[in-house]
Amino acid sequence: MLLLVQRVSRHSSTATLLLLQHQRTSFFTLSHQRHSTTTHFNTIIMSSSTNLRQRPSAKSTNTAPASPPSPNRSHSSHSHSHSHGGHSHGEEEATALLSALSGSTDPGSRITLIGLAANVGLTGVKGAAGFILGSAALLADAAHSGSDLLADIVTLTTYRMSRKPVSDSHPYGYGKYESLGSLVVSFLLIGTALGIGLHSYHLLLTTLSSMPHMNASLLASLDALPHGHSHGGAEGAGAGDDAEIVDPRAMWFAAGSIVVKEWLYRATLKVAKSEHSNVLLANAFHHRSDAFGSLVAVGAIGGAWLGYPVLDPLGGLLVSGMILKQGAGVGITALKELTDQITDPTLPPRVHTLVASLRDPTLPPLPPFTTRSSTSLLSAPSPTPVAPPLPSSTGALPILSIPSIRIFASGPSLLLDIQLVLPSGLTLREANRVEREVREKCVEELGGQRVREVVVRLVGEGEEVDTDTHININMQALLAQAGLNLSEQDVKLSLIAIGIVLLGYVGSKALRMGSREAFLPPGPKTIPILGNLLQLPLEYTHLQMTKWAAEYGPIFSLKLANQTMIVLTGPSEVKELLDRRSATTSDRPPLHVANEVITNGKHLLAMGYGNRWRLVRRIMHQYLTVRMCEEKHQFVQAAESTQMIWDVLNQPTDYYNRVRRYSTGVILSIVYGRRGPSWKGVVSDLYEVMDPWSEIVETGATPPMDIFPWIKKLPNFLSPWRKKAQKVRQMELELYGSLASEVKTRRSKGILRDSLMDQVFDMQEKDGGGEPLLDDEQVAYIGGVLLEGGSDTTSSLTLSFLLACCAFPEVLAKAQAEVDSVCGRGRMPDFGDFDSLPYIRMCVKEVQRWRPVVITAFPHYTTKDERYKNYIIPKGTILIGNTYGIHFDPVKYPEPNVFRPERFADFPLSAPEYAAMSGDESRDHYGYGWGRRICVGLHIAERSMFLNIARLVWAFNITEDPAHPVDINNYSPGFLSAPRTFKCNITPRDDKVKDVVGAEFEAAKSVFKEYTD
């Protein structure tokens, strides 16, 4: 095959894959059947086995003579004992290959050598063309044609081996080598088909993502299902990214390849049929699939010319399916041969007809041939004894019945095992005549070159017939026992009708999947099966949800296949469903990656609503109350805030990490009783864990396995997300586990501190083990959850305020004026200034509204049916609180994208106080969530934000860098939103700043000593 299209992007076409990965297209132990012979009174039982091909070895054994009659005894007809010669199988195979390559004249070797020569020629021609045209793809295709030689060599070797005569080491011949060769070629075909199909799948998604009106982000997520890298379809793939350069001269190469490969297919197929060779048949399919591949490449060029690039991957998928079917068919036939199954179902009835044609026509007719027994045929003996026939010139044989016919395929050869029932009183000569004529008839009709051995076993009338018959359940008989006398045709028609009904039922259920039920809130139009899945973006989902809310109202529904999702974008809806009814709406949906693979159900954010959740939540809450903040934690916050200002003063260009160090340092002290004095170490380690955690639990980062559970069962090579998730789990356990172990080690030295983890270990140790739910992994995640939540949210909000200062300088000026009027220039603001700095408190609320960290709240899950207004919300519904949509309601917040703290002039209380109120519209903002899942650390966060904003505006002028204008919408995607790094100028407001901050930093060191070993 030839490459017709050269792509200038990183996306290879399906045509390229067809050229790079085209199809590549036994051990044999013949179960030695029991040739048992039984005599009873005057009955002669005879087993005769005649080898139809003379073995070259001088040690060939002849058929053992029949044992003389002996009453009530059972004899084995004969036995063989063979020894291996001094040669090895590897030497035999090498000899066969060398013999084939030396120019054998048998048809199979000859056509395979022709195919091998053709592949050598195609390699040279395409290699030269690729070099002349400067096409790397053509050169790669030339390498592919060279790799096609593997299938030819396998075919040639196994074909020649299978034609070797029998030997002492292979008493039944070498036919299974051909079956083994067919299996190898079938694996090559299947592997190539899967490779082409996988590539075509990715290319189809990439092509669709560049087309208008398609959900590029969802297609990119589907693209990540079987492999871990991105094709860039969701990264703005456009016409320019996938421009195709078509060289018309490549069409001639393709046409020539099609002609050559199609001729090879027809010629090889003809020889395969005449030689009864499955390995040649597999190689014929190999040639045909090459021709198909070139044909698809031509179609890809035609599609590019006509403006339909999607024809390329669709053609690739079609060819992949055809090759897969061919490869599977060849492989199944080879496996049947290797496991001694009948590969040609027409042979047993054909042999039955041959044997029946030799019978004496005066005998009772045989019952019709049946395959209901494992022996392929079972006939009852005559009810009355039949006298031995007199010698007949017609040659008619006294065959009463044919209990079994067994046929084994050994490569191209057949081995027949036929059991016959003869009347009593026959002489040995007469029995031998029956055996000889049956054997000769089979050889004559089936072909002497194909039939390697015929075993005829003779049993006397009335004796037990060894048929190895399995139990056969007869549906018709069962129905008759139930009083339903139906014909076989009636039974078949009934089963067909039942199948049609079941198929219709399943089909109707499948078509209804994805449809919106009438009792649900309205929403965007669905499509069968997938519902709204393709319409839901995988990044910045909040923007699309807010658009839908404007169209369908503050409560609307989405159908994600068979899963229902309801989005709440109104304060009344959120208050009613997520707050007042939180007893039944506080659960989490199945989150396979976040809750099962990564955290083992131990992470509070993803944990289901139950006893473990209540215990962990209670432990955290009781240490983060208002009283604990006022009596203990605010001293740590003030000291760490002082270091943050000092760090930014001395390293203003590294403000981003200085802010993040502050929030992590506060939580380390409160939770673990230790410090995080610098960015390096545990602080940076934490963000190295949180970044991949946030990425992988983001909607769309992994396949929708919670909607399609079968995805969970895919093997690892088709599930790269699993390796990533397991890596995140390992990183979390190492970090959170090591921090918990540090506390244990410190306590073992007698150093006790009033940290949350000290209290947790007290609980764990209480009463010889404490709470049974507090295992070591759960203890590690208690600290880890607080570390994540306290670090990322506070730092993101502080950075968002700095961004707002650059974009809206009037806000900074007004804030500085208020702080200066209260604190002057001789000290920094402190918690005691809370009531005196209302504009700073407004800034805290506005930054929560303007850029909430959790823009669409983590999903809730209903545990029972709920009625709301005229709607029914079924059990198992996902509820999403659209924080962004509520905060950007243009009616409540005019010009919502403008940072305007004055919006909250009428909200003097703290956010936790408003969250506790019962009114639908009483909340100032929803940045901390709602209901029983409201942020457990909101009191800490509220105080940190107040102190940080007040001190930053007191100490610094924060302005936009003229050379790098800020983009207020440049935020990272994911369930936790944070501004990406931006350039800004942070300078001290006057000379007093350094002295004041330096003095307060020295005073803060006394607090730090309490948390330093």
pLDDT tens-digit series, residues 679-723: 998 999 998 888 888 777 766 667 778 777 888 888 887 888 888
Give me the pLDDT at residue 619, please: 93
How many Cα atoms occupy the beta-carbon half-sphere of 662 within 13 Å?
Answer: 32
Q: Which phi and psi (to 5°) does residue 905 adopt?
A: -60, -25
Q: Which of 57-61, 446-450, 752-756, 774-778 has the highest mean pLDDT?
A: 752-756
Write the CB contacts of 536 (distance below 8 Å, at least 6 apart in sequence).
215, 218, 544, 558, 560, 699
pLDDT at 86 over 80: no
pLDDT, one tens digit per residue, over 144-196 is: 555 566 677 777 777 777 777 777 777 767 777 777 777 787 787 787 777 77
Whether the CB-CB separation of 355 and 437 falls below 8 Å is answered with no
pLDDT at 953 exceeding the cut of 80: yes
Angle subtended at Cα 869 by Cα 864 and Cα 874, rounded to the nearest 5 degrees: 25
Angle, helices 175-209/216-223, rounded to nearest 10 degrees: 160
Question: How many CA within 13 A on the CB side of residue 892?
Answer: 16
pLDDT digits (tens, 9 = 90+) for 734-779: 999 999 999 999 999 999 999 999 999 988 877 555 556 788 899 9
Q: What is the pLDDT of residue 180?
A: 79
Average pLDDT over residues 442-459: 79
pLDDT of residue 358: 86
Query: What is the pLDDT at residue 13?
Result: 38
Q: Return phi, psi of residue 872, to 5°.
A: -115, 125
Residue 4: both structure tokens together:
């017709």
Structural element, H or E, at residue 661 = helix 655-667
- Note the pLDDT of residue 843: 98
Beta strands in 324-443 (DSSP E): 401-410, 413-422
| pLDDT average, residue stretch 646-657 | 96
487, two tokens: 């014909």
At 464 the pLDDT is 60
pLDDT of residue 212: 59
Nearest C-alpha neighbor of 319 from the set 258, 273, 245, 237: 258
Mean pLDDT over 354-365 rounds to 84
- Could you read off the pLDDT of 778-802 as tens digits, one per residue? 999 999 999 998 888 899 999 999 9
Please give the pLDDT value at position 306.
60
Average pLDDT taken over every residue of the chain: 77
Largest pairwise CA distance in the chain: 135
Of residues 509 and 241, more confidence is placed in 509
- Alpha-carbon separation of residue 634 from 86, 564, 648, 785, 913 (angstroms): 89, 44, 21, 20, 18
pLDDT over 60 at 873, yes or no: yes
HSE-up of residue 133 (Cα within 13 Å, Cβ side): 23
Residue 469, pLDDT > 70, answer no
- Is a pLDDT exceeding 70 seen at residue 214? no
Residue 879 has pLDDT above 90, yes or no: yes
β partners of residue 961? 964
pLDDT per residue as tens digits for the range 508-520: 776 677 889 999 9
Residue 556 reports pLDDT greater than 90: yes
> 555: pLDDT confidence band, cut at 50, 70 and 90?
very high
Q: Report phi then psi at 663, rounded to 5.
A: -65, -40
Pair 6, 300: CB distance under 8 Å: no
Which residue has better confidence, 419 or 982?
A: 982
**What is the pLDDT at residue 77?**
37
Q: Is 201 exposed, middle or buried (0-12, 13-18, 19+ CB in 10 A)?
A: buried
Q: Is the pLDDT of residue 388 over 80?
A: no
User: pLDDT digits over 815-834, tens only?
Assistant: 999 999 999 999 999 999 99
% pLDDT > 70, the chain: 72
Q: What is the pLDDT of residues 262-273, one digit of tens each?
A: 888 888 888 877
Yes or no: say if 254 and 297 are a contact pair by the CB < 8 Å rule: yes
CA-based torsion, 889, 895, 896, 897: positive or negative: positive
Residue 852 is classified by DSSP as -
442 appears as a binding residue in the annotation: no
Q: What is the pLDDT of residue 105?
A: 59
- Res. 207: pLDDT tops 90: no
Q: What is the model's pLDDT at position 379?
A: 34
For the ranges 122-131, 424-433, 875-884, the lowest mean pLDDT is seen at: 122-131
User: 0.85 cut: is pTM over it?
Assistant: no
Using the predicted structure, report yes or no on whether residue 539 has a pLDDT greater than 50.
yes
